[in-house]
Amino acid sequence: GAVVSQHPSWVICKSGTSVKIECRSLDFQATTMFWYRQFPKQSLMLMATSNEGSKATYEQGVEKDKFLINHASLTLSTLTVTSAHPEDSSFYICSAINADNEQFFGPGTRLTVL
């Protein structure tokens, strides 16, 4: 089956620093990837839609200048949390859409901002 990876799986950083999270589709090409955020004991909330070769589309309330998304190739999307603060601590999950419009989720990245 299709595999989506995320790197790193967990990261701890100091407040004010930036963190980059990678989402890769390992065995298929994905023109569309999604970034979700999950707070503890909460559901997944869509943050943005990442389309290869174009600007990401952000959901209402998500700051595009804080959560920079780059979908530079058909197998890689990156999410950069800029000037991270403790309230950005969360579980970030990406998903990728294959040619059959099936959605596959990555294993998630745990971000802790101190």
Partner 1 sequence: AQSVTQPDIHITVSEGASLELRCNYSYGATPYLFWYVQSPGQGLQLLLKYFSGDTLVQGIKGFEAEFKRSQSSFNLRKPSVHWSDAAEYFCAVGSANQAGTALIFGKGTTLSVSS
Q: Which residues bind partner 1 (CB under 8 A)?
A: 32, 34, 36, 42-46, 49, 93, 95, 97, 101-103, 105-108, 110
Which of 49, 94, 96, 52 lies closest to 72 in space, CA to CA?
52
Q: Determine the Cα angle at 22 with ends 24 and 112, to 5°.
A: 140
CB of 83 to partner 1, least distance (A): 26
Considering beta carbons, is residue 42 or 73 the nearer one to partner 1?
42
Considering beta carbons, is residue 83 or 97 the nearer one to partner 1?
97
Which of 83, 74, 82, 61 lies closest to 23 in space, CA to CA?
74
CB of 20 to partner 1, least distance (A): 19
